[in-house]
Amino acid sequence: MRTWIDLDDAPVFAIPAAGGPRYGVLVEGPQGWGEFSPSPGASDELAARWLTAAMEPSTVGWPDALRGRVPVDAARPTVAVGRDIDAAVTLIREAAPDVAHLIDCTAEQAAAIRRRVDLPVAVDADVLAADPQCADVVVLRCGRLGGVRRAMRRAERLGLPALVVFSGTSSIGVAADVALAAALPDLPYACGPVPQWLRDGDVVSSARSLGTSDGYLPAAPMPAGPDATRLGQFLVTDAAVVAQWRDLLRRAAALL
């Protein structure tokens, strides 16, 4: 499929955000567009998964949706465990969420917190790979797991309820997370949150932007394409930055 994607001229964009600009690359295939936006410092292997996710809607398309829209929780807290399990437990008890979503944790830490809180514990699929018994809920991120189909297969193998976290940078990327949530057989938890920066900047038209939510987001068979004017506002023109992202894109493609 990578031969169908134009990697050399893929536009690199950056959307301003509170913690610094959020970068991504838009890849176009015969069926439309996808978003490649791994986090800074991502390995080539992780970038390859992101590229697979970006190519999925623009080539083979997403699986059929089982629901026309997905619920969004804009306020669910995430708990960064780090080294302090006691502090993480305290935060969870004070927040009283419907599910304890842990980040920056190991399987051993997740298991320890699970024994001390009286609600489901959710961790990323990669953490569960080390110990499938360390949590009650698997967190799915479409880009990181290599697309909708791969994320669904991972959840099926684990046999746990799923929580979909939005990991896209623009509405093109968020649409993939929404497609994943829409295609899951069961969706016991609301998804999200919608990235705050999308309220002020996006690469698709305002009518197609997923930057606002009334508690739900619509599922679509493919993401919206970029709007030329809005993409132009966020297009990266720094030659060094563009070269860095396109080089990562090419290295990722070489692993597919």
Give the CATH number, domain containing residue 104.
Answer: 3.20.20.120
Please give the pLDDT value at position 192.
Answer: 85
Main-chain dihedrals φ then ψ at residue 27, nearest 5 degrees:
-115, 135
Determine the straight-line distance between the first and last CA of the chain, rounded to whole angstroms: 9
The range of the structural domain enclosing residue 179 comes to: 2-254
Neighbouring-strand partners of residue 35 = 26
Residue 3 pLDDT exceeds 90: no
Tell me: pLDDT of 100 over 60: yes
Distance, CA of 160 to CA of 81 (rounded, Å)? 22
pLDDT at res. 2: 54
Would residue 52 be called left, alpha or beta, if left means φ above 0 and alpha means ψ between -120 and 50 degrees? Answer: alpha
Q: What is the largest CA-CA distance in the chain?
A: 52
Number of compact structural domains in the chain: 1
Q: How confident is the model at residue 74 (pLDDT cuts 50, 70, 90)?
A: confident
Beta bridge partners of residue 24, listed in sequence order: 13
Which is higher by pLDDT, 38 or 212? 38
Other Cβ atoms within 10 Å of 123 Cβ, number: 30
Partners of 80 in the β-ladder: 103
CA dist., res. 5 & res. 23, Å (int)? 19
pLDDT tens digits for range 156-186: 999 999 999 999 999 999 999 999 999 999 9
Percentage, residues of the chain above pLDDT 90:
82
Q: Over 90: is that where the pLDDT of 106 sits?
A: yes
Q: Indicate the pLDDT class of residue 117, thresholds 50, 70 and 90.
A: very high
Separation of alpha carbons 179 and 44, rounded Å: 25
Mean pLDDT across the chain: 93
At 45-68, the pLDDT tens digits run 999 999 999 999 989 999 999 999
* Span 105-130, average pLDDT: 95
User: What pLDDT score was predicted for residue 234?
Assistant: 97
Backbone Cα Rg of the chain = 18
Residue 222 zone, left/alpha/beta (φ > 0; ψ -120 to 50; rest): beta
Say if residues 31 and 57 touch (Cβ distance below 8 Å). yes
pLDDT of res. 7: 81
Cβ pair 167, 156 in contact under 8 A: no
pLDDT in tens, 186-215: 999 999 899 889 988 999 999 999 987 789
Read off the pLDDT of each residue in 86-92 and give the average, rounded to a whole number: 92
Kindly tell me if the per-residue pLDDT of 4 is higher than 70. no
